[in-house]
Chains A and B, each alone.
Chain A
């Protein structure tokens, strides 16, 4: 229930590059403990205190128990001569989202905090490293990136996982409200608190979070990757395009269960970039309420997707349904795919402000390489946003929050076993809820009170 923006004094960490399976990845730390954090994990001929500022050193990054994670190059840029004006450490490692995750976890476990959107830039500004005139630009950047981060975090939290995490919150709130009711209403005839029941329920949440954390570590818990939505009217060739992309990439991973009947999701990795390909029901002009619902969902999906592939039939003039699809596609995140390029082109109707145009023939397999290149360029090329890094970050943020919840719950159970008073137990539960609140939003005192009033007959 500490309701605060991040303090600007702790040490933050984030990937500075989008993860790719083959290339180089950079993890960046900034803050007073950056060097100490590196020292805790870096094993090389030159140890961090002896490193000269702005020089690269070769070594291995190791876990606490000494097992090596990766061969890396590390550089310390000591304050104030760094981008943020604080001590900055960069670790250049091999690419790959799994490895990047492990390295982030390593620093998080040592006490770093995941950077908020735009926080490196914010620190640079606050430490006088940026021109004063750039303040507005920095502010705009923070706003834009936060919005993007929120969109990604929500996208990651669909379905079962979201339900699970909300269930944890509900359970912990319930335990807290029992304690708080017995603290604040001693004369209200509430009966005695059932310690055994509280203990059992706390243990159940603890066990469930522990299990979920394991699936995180296996990389199975969250939807990997950025979302790419295939949009267009029925029979324009969407499903064939999906299959062609999957076939080309030869990397079908799983079919995700629990998706709605009118969308199909597939995962693939393109040039080391993890993608979720989503095929929607066709966009159809209709008055049928069920189909209207399908269209509404397609519109929602288009809004949420990281990239939209808008498929049109290049051999025919635009239909009313095509126009509906065009209207749904966000121009700054859409690649226009003109299918059936093997057939004679209809008159050139496409003067829309999309990212790029690609002509393909799914039937003949032409143009697919260009399309793949356009997708990768959008996410990894010059001008690419934080999308990919954002996905990894959002995923780590969830893990971090769950891990914090777990720590607090362990303290809660120890305190309960030691017979600490209600007030101290409530303190630990509030910490657990605050950690979980990084995903689900904070639990306000009012929310707890509201539940107390609806559960118990309060008021002498």
Chain B
């Protein structure tokens, strides 16, 4: 397909994405792949897809998000598969839906590959520039203006500003403007958003020092290795055969904690210099020491930054203490006695826009055509950002093409849970995904992300045909495997087989499916009984095993989804006038008016909206 590239400044685009972090890259790629002329503007072109904090992708619930990004046709899964240096499956024994993939990344390779993908994407222009304001026309967004006064027009704009808006970096009591170590902040845009009427707040996050690998004695430390057979994140990746690097584990001790306590008077957190709200699930080491004085040690993971990198990322000691205190406490850790800091740890405060001001499409309610994704919405994490960026990019493209927007349900994916939580609850602290946030958790597994979302990816035009065919082939294989499980039987007299399976007598024989229901028998134990089953790919076999072993739970969870169906499909018109409903309390009216829920189901999840209020709305919506 021949694509004419528009190179002139001030050009017209269909979608403009501001920021090329994990959200921005997904948004821009999605829009361009859906056929929109797309511009990706960023402050520093060498930093596309930069991992600002730990060099890792995935983890609990985050691994699920990455699989969902892949199922929809996004890039993150392929990018980590191509640049990962250690792959692990977490929680293998705690249930089928809470198994999660996690990978250490080569930080530089991850960024470089992402830039290459962006550059080779037809229909996507990549430019460096700082956006200072949005252009409006006819009550909707019409483009952006850069610091230099250049104007780019587009009917849809996606803002992914990360930690850059009015970013302020703290190291001890020293602080200076910055969006990330070594990079200037974005000034002007958040004031402009405030002037447009958006509620803008302030959050804080932090990161640990980076250490010189050559100054660490690994010989006395416990090593943590990746899985012997790494499982890729993306269905496009056949296998991963890159060499894997180990992480190492060390611990803080009483001496460490003593030094940290001694430095608290120069901590910006404890001296009240920092106003932004930080994440509770990712506390700084000074926070951990203060809040959990009874803990005599904290576990620290030493993570390699890449094959060729001389830097080590110490996971678990995020800090904004002064540099001398950072160095002193790090040197109390076993293996780190002579450690040299290459880059100091720091805290950063930044502006975000409360996501309660968004529709579940990630479009802002105040300005049509404007979408927000990633940390601007108060979230934290590359995966949360990437997933939002993808959805915002899809919806921006759909709007530019004058097509119906996409909303993802809580029963469809963690992406649905994420966005629904953001728009209903807002974000008062940085929001991270956990599996416990998903009430339909048993249905949201990594292995069935494709069944939940690939049809949607194809429908919007993001999932390539070849990929769709592969997905259909997988479905067919699951069906075949299910058939074999029911057809193949073990006869009562088949002593050899029974003995090999460790079973006693079977009066009437049993199908493989019946045998698989027994807790002590796994699908792998049965493969010798059927060649067709044995020949199925491992992800298909996993899925078969899960669907048989947890059939009862899965069905009960599906029943729960079914019970909410009517509410979830009852749409509330966007112009519904809550003010005239006298039978609703003033408090409930105000909440509904503010959030303007898309469905009755969404209304029921707004805190303070009572079941009675929902019943009243149900009646009025039939009027």
Contact = CB atoms under 8 A, between A and B. Distances in A.
Given A5-B567, A421-B95, A427-B557, A453 B280 contact: yes
A402 B425 CA distance: 29
13 contacts: A4-B604, A119-B615, A139-B581, A183-B95, A186-B90, A187-B301, A421-B94, A421-B95, A423-B97, A427-B441, A445-B437, A446-B425, A449-B436
Contacts of A418: 519
Interface residues of A, number: 55
Given A184-B434, A184-B436, A427 B442 contact: yes
A361 to B, nearest CB: 44
Determine the interface band of chain B, counting residues with CB < 8 A from chain A.
35 or more
Interface string B579-623: 001111100000000000000110011000011111110111011
B93 A132 contact: no
A182 interface: yes
A122 B615 contact: yes
Interface string B432-448: 00111101011000000
B129 interface: no
B401 interface: no
Given A119-B615, A457-B292, A423 B622 contact: no
Given A7-B566, A116-B612, A126-B619, 6 more contacts: A136-B620, A139-B583, A423-B441, A449-B437, A459-B316, A460-B299
Majority secondary structure of chain A interface residues (helix, strand, loop or mixed): helix
B563 A7 contact: yes
B550 interface: yes
Contact of B91 (A125, A138, A186, A427): A186
A422 B291 contact: no
Interface string B275-293: 0000111110000100110
A6 B622 CA distance: 16
A80 B91 CA distance: 53
Interface string B64-108: 000000000000000000000000001101111110000000000
A140 B583 CA distance: 5
Contacts, number: 164
A7 B601 CA distance: 11
Interface string A155-198: 00000000000000000000000001011111111000000000
Contact of B618 (A1, A122, A423): A122
A424 B437 CA distance: 15
B50 to A, nearest CB: 20
Interface in A282-315: none
A252 interface: no
Contact of A135 (B436, B439, B614, B622): B622
Contacts of B316: 459-460
B618 A135 contact: no
B244 to A, nearest CB: 17
B431 to A, nearest CB: 10
Contacts of A48: none
A61 to B, nearest CB: 29
A423 B582 CA distance: 44
A108 interface: no
B315 interface: yes
A378 B361 CA distance: 53
B583 A135 contact: no
Interface of A: 1-9, 116-119, 122, 125-126, 132, 135-136, 138-140, 142-144, 146-147, 180, 182-189, 418-419, 421-424, 426-427, 430, 445-446, 448-450, 453, 457-460
A374 B293 CA distance: 65
Contact of A460 (B98, B301, B564, B567): B301
Nearest to B314: A460
Given A135-B620, A135-B623, A459-B283, A2 B95 contact: no
B550 A424 contact: yes
A143 B612 contact: yes
B348 interface: no
B617 to A, nearest CB: 8
A125 B90 CA distance: 51
A375 to B, nearest CB: 29
A424 B292 contact: no
Contacts of B59: 187
Interface in B513-562: 519, 550, 553, 556-557, 560
B256 to A, nearest CB: 14
Interface centre among A9, A449, A460 (most CB of B within 10 A): A460
A438 to B, nearest CB: 10
A125 B619 contact: yes
B368 interface: no
B295 interface: yes
Contacts of B620: 135-136, 139
Interface string B304-320: 00000000000110100
A449 to B, nearest CB: 6
Nearest to B295: A457
B67 to A, nearest CB: 17
A96 B612 CA distance: 29
A423 B90 contact: no
Nearest to B564: A4
Given A3-B605, A122-B615, A419-B519, A140 B281 contact: no
A419 B549 CA distance: 13
B423 to A, nearest CB: 15
B489 interface: no
A28 B553 CA distance: 33
B265 to A, nearest CB: 23
A203 B616 CA distance: 40
A347 to B, nearest CB: 41
A142 B442 contact: no
A185 to B, nearest CB: 7
Contact of B315 (A136, A183, A460): A460
Contacts of A427: 441-442, 553, 556-557
Nearest to B567: A4
B436 A142 contact: no
Interface centre among B519, B581, B583, B619 (most CB of A within 10 A): B619
A448 B436 contact: yes
Contacts of A180: 434, 436
A2 to B, nearest CB: 5
